[in-house]
Amino acid sequence: MSPIRTRKISPRVAIIGTGFSGIAAAIALKKKGIEDFVIFERADGLGGTWRHNRYPGAEVDLESHIYSFSYERYDWTRTHAGWSELLGYLEHVAGKWGLYPHMRFNEAVNEVTWSDERRDYVVATSSGKDHGRFTSVISAVGFLNTPLVPPFVRDEHDFEGPICHTSEWVDGLDMTDKSIGVLGTGSSAVQVIAEAEKVGSEVKVFQIEPNWLLPKNAHDFTSLERKLNRFAPVYFWRRLKLYADYDMRQHFTGHAREDGRSNRNRRRASIEFLHRELADRPDLIELATPKFAFEGRRTVTSDTYYSSLKSPKVTLVPHAVKGLSRSGAIDENGDEHQLDMIVLATGFDAANYLGTYKVRGEGGVDLHESWNREPDAFLGMMVPGFPNFFIMFGPNTNAIPLVTFYEAQANFAAGSISRAAKKCATKVEVRRSAFLIYNDWLQSRLSRTVWAKTTSYFRGGTGKIISQWPFSASSYVLATKLLRRLVVKVS
């Protein structure tokens, strides 16, 4: 037997990112008795999405009870928490589990490189420090982290006011008494629009295409509700009920097929909500009615968007912006709109998974070159040729409830790393045959959904669906438990 395989293995793990998934990964390692890990974070504090997305009105689309760890309760103030409360929750969890000593802030990862000879990784970061070698790497950067900025903003322009992407909100940027242009009508946009309408002098909403929208039913918890939520059985019952509702909605892909019961029921509810809210504005009903299949793109939830559109301060412009002038924006019709500031709610480069750093695997192969902007992975987590490398919230794992997926992926990664250490193994890798069979099967199922019929960020350049998981959370959790030992080999 070779010396490499007989020496005792002490795992040393690098985690990239301190958002929900990074914290889930760190806790899973701790539960397995693995304490030697470093968490790299490019920002000056933890939080990931909820540190970067701090625009006015930013809050989660899922209920607080389900958008949180199953093992960490919290005294939520709202049914749907805002960014600051979610950030506070993550800080609370990180402190409770002793994660801060493991974190390295203002330390952006530039490259992760596998050594065929040593069977470990080197992580190169922005500081240039030598962080030592790592037996495994867990990427927890997600995929919605590279803002899409229109060309007319990237190029030189004359606009004199502030321009800000929702994920790069500038602290102190004030919308009060401003004429505000909002580019986009997605989830971030509708939240910004509601706040802009409250304080701005005028709001112009530039819409390329309307989205399907459902009421959010968000509200502050009453003092009695918060008191009941502090009682563990009540808290867990509410969480379980939400989980079961989402699981049933996604059972057998019912939410993503036009003939699915869930899809039909929710589409009907969306249409009824649209017509009820805009009953006195038939002009807006026409402009706000989508032409694509329900759920073909991310469905927006909001209690305030339609009422905001009816405000005399708000104008819905059914055209994209094509350029900027010194004092405003020029739409596709050539009309100029006078604006004091512009908010880009233009989304992210979703096909660019792990787009903030490079990954080199066996033989120096570049992961992004092998993906060619159409990423795939076994269960969204492992790619052949990149041993000991695990991806959180990877390709084809975008589904709800998100935190359930994070926990399952964290347990998968930590379990695989722990198993390898116990076997004195230095390599954990997915079998290529399993990887190919799995992705062929998954794409065949995805081809039957509404996502395959609609252009969206869910799809890559050739039309391949790269982000979505088509089934329930329970089916994914079960797959991670049953398949880990069958298709992941250690050596």
Closest CA to 398 of 281, 284, 195, 255: 255
Amino acid making up residue 420: A
- Supply the pLDDT for residue 142: 87
Chain segment 406-445, per-residue pLDDT in tens: 999 999 999 999 999 999 999 999 999 999 999 999 999 9
- pLDDT at residue 3 greater than cutoff 80: no
CATH code at 151-344 = 3.50.50.60
Note whether 3-146+350-490 and 151-344 share their fold. Answer: yes
Angle at 130 between CA 27 and CA 128, to 5 degrees: 105
Q: What are phi and psi of 405, to 5 degrees?
A: -65, -40
> Average pLDDT of 55-73?
97
Could you write out the DSSP letters of every residue in 450-461? GGGGS-STTB-T
Q: Given a cut of 70, is residue 6 above it in pLDDT?
A: no
pLDDT at position 31, please?
98
Looking at residue 1, its pLDDT comes to 39
- Phi and psi at residue 360, to the nearest 5°: -120, 125
Comparing C-alpha atoms, which of 105, 118, 111, 166 is closest to residue 139? 111
φ/ψ of residue 431, rounded to 5: -70, 130
Which CATH number describes the domain made up of 3-146+350-490?
A: 3.50.50.60
pLDDT confidence band for 130 (50 / 70 / 90): very high
Enclosing H/E stretch for 473: helix 473-487
pLDDT at 50 over 90: yes
Q: Give the pTM.
A: 0.96
What is the percentage of the chain residues whose pLDDT exceeds 90? 94
Mean pLDDT of the chain: 96
Q: Which residues pair with 13 in a beta bridge?
A: 37, 136
pLDDT at 4 over 50: no
% helix / strand / coil in the chain, to the nearest 5?
35, 20, 45
Amino acid at 345: A
Asked if the model's pLDDT at residue 68 lies above 80, the reply is yes
Distance CA(210)–CA(296), nearest Å, equals 12
Q: Are 273 and 290 contacting, i.e. CB atoms less than 8 angstroms apart?
A: no
pLDDT the model gives residue 205: 98
Most confident option among 4-8, 143-147, 168-172: 168-172
Is pLDDT above 80 for 2? no
Contact 74, 53 (CB under 8 A): no
The arrangement of strands across the sheet holding 179-183 comes to 163-165, 341-344, 179-183, 202-206, 314-317
Confidence of residue 461 (pLDDT cuts 50, 70, 90): confident
Give the per-residue pLDDT at 7. 57
Which pLDDT score, from 0 to 100, does residue 489 have? 87
Q: What percent of the chain has pLDDT over 70?
A: 98
pLDDT in tens, 76-100: 999 999 999 999 999 999 999 999 9
Asked if the model's pLDDT at residue 328 lies above 90, the reply is yes
Confidence (pLDDT) at 355: 93
Tokens of 261: 């019961």
For the chain, the structural domain boundaries read 3-146+350-490, 151-344
Nearest to 192 by CA among 229, 165, 154: 165
Token digits of residue 192: 């910004």
**What's the start-to-end Cα distance of the chain, in Å?**
11
Predicted confidence (pLDDT) per residue in 378-411, tens digit: 999 999 999 999 999 999 999 999 999 999 999 9
| Lowest-confidence segment of 80-84, 285-289, 484-488 by average pLDDT | 484-488
